[in-house]
């Protein structure tokens, strides 16, 4: 993100509480970070299977594959993806994982949350070793002998995606649309965010999300995605997944130069 024209704002760490089952919950949004039933299985079902991963990495035609996520949270989705990518047979593409988080977890809270998944401990330890501090902007972590790049953006989701999309270069092959429920965190699901999701997507890019809210479905469809409603995980009846057809062109912005500098017509 361009910092030359953006006011510097300190990053606020997520305020975390813990359920009786040891599940982290956001005190700000009043929602848990993952399923009380089985957060690992939920993430694998919704986001990896929802984006047809790791099957899509087989015979992938490009040298790299990019995943973008709205809300890094505990890092569980990232670690599961890293593990699945490691287990995928060669040749496999290098992996670029981009995640935007306005309220990052403090390292101690992240470590406590991830301790619930012993199978992920080696990868979680590697992540925590490089986990960035509460400084706004982009933080790049290079992992797995340089074949995996993790870009963490401690920023507002709309500002970040709008800025990235303004460069006109589609980057993303698969989206994890996470964050909290639309009723609790409406900013994460606003139309401007979902339009930027489409503009940043390469042709045929996929998305998956735990929600099946009608407004989210309509906004994604309006942005150019073919949206499919499918069975949800656990207590959730339904969730959404889909593929990009042709993104809807953005509405041109009003000129930012003074009217007296505009050419005569």
Q: What percent of the chain has pLDDT over 70?
A: 90
Q: What does the CA dihedral 114, 118, 123, 129 come to, rounded to 10 degrees? A: 60
For the entire predicted model, the pTM comes to 0.90
Quote the CATH superfamily of domain 16-247.
Vaccinia Virus protein VP39 (3.40.50.150)
As a whole number of angstroms, the distance between CA 204 and CA 210 comes to 20
The rounded mean pLDDT for the chain is: 91
**Helices 214-222, 191-199: inter-axial angle, 10-degree rounding:** 40
Reported as a pLDDT band with limits 50, 70 and 90, residue 249 is low
User: How much is the pLDDT for 261?
Assistant: 40
Reported as a pLDDT band with limits 50, 70 and 90, residue 235 is confident
Angle at 135 between CA 80 and CA 39, to 5 degrees: 25
Where do the domains of the chain lie? 16-247
As a whole number of angstroms, the distance between CA 178 and CA 182 comes to 10
DSSP secondary structure letter of residue 174: E
User: How much is the pLDDT for 37?
Assistant: 85
pLDDT at 2 over 60: no
């Amino acid at each position: 993100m361009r910092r030359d024209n953006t006011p510097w704002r300190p990053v606020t760490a997520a305020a975390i509480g813990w359920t009786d089952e040891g599940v982290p919950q956001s005190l700000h949004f009043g929602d848990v970070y993952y399923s009380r039933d089985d957060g690992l299985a939920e993430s694998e079902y919704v986001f990896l299977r929802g984006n047809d991963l790791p099957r899509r990495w087989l015979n992938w035609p490009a040298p790299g594959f990019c995943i973008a996520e709205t809300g890094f949270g505990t890092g569980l989705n990232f670690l599961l993806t890293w593990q699945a990518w490691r287990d995928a047979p060669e040749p496999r593409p290098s992996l670029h994982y981009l995640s935007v988080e306005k309220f990052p977890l403090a390292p101690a809270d992240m470590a406590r949350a991830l301790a619930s998944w012993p199978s992920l401990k080696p990868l979680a330890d590697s992540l925590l070793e490089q986990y960035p501090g509460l400084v706004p902007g982009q933080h790049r972590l290079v992992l797995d002998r340089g074949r995996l790049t993790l870009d963490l953006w401690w920023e507002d989701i709309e500002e970040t995606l709008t800025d990235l999309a303004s460069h006109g270069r589609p980057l993303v092959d698969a989206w994890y649309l996470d964050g909290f429920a639309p009723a609790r965190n409406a900013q994460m699901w606003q139309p401007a965010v979902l339009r930027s999701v489409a503009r940043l997507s390469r042709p045929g890019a996929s998305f998956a999300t735990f929600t099946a809210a009608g407004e989210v479905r309509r906004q994604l469809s309006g942005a150019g995605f073919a949206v499919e409603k499918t069975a949800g995980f656990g207590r959730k009846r339904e969730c959404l997944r889909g593929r990009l057809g042709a993104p809807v062109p953005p509405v041109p912005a009003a000129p930012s130069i003074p009217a007296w500098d505009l050419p005569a017509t």
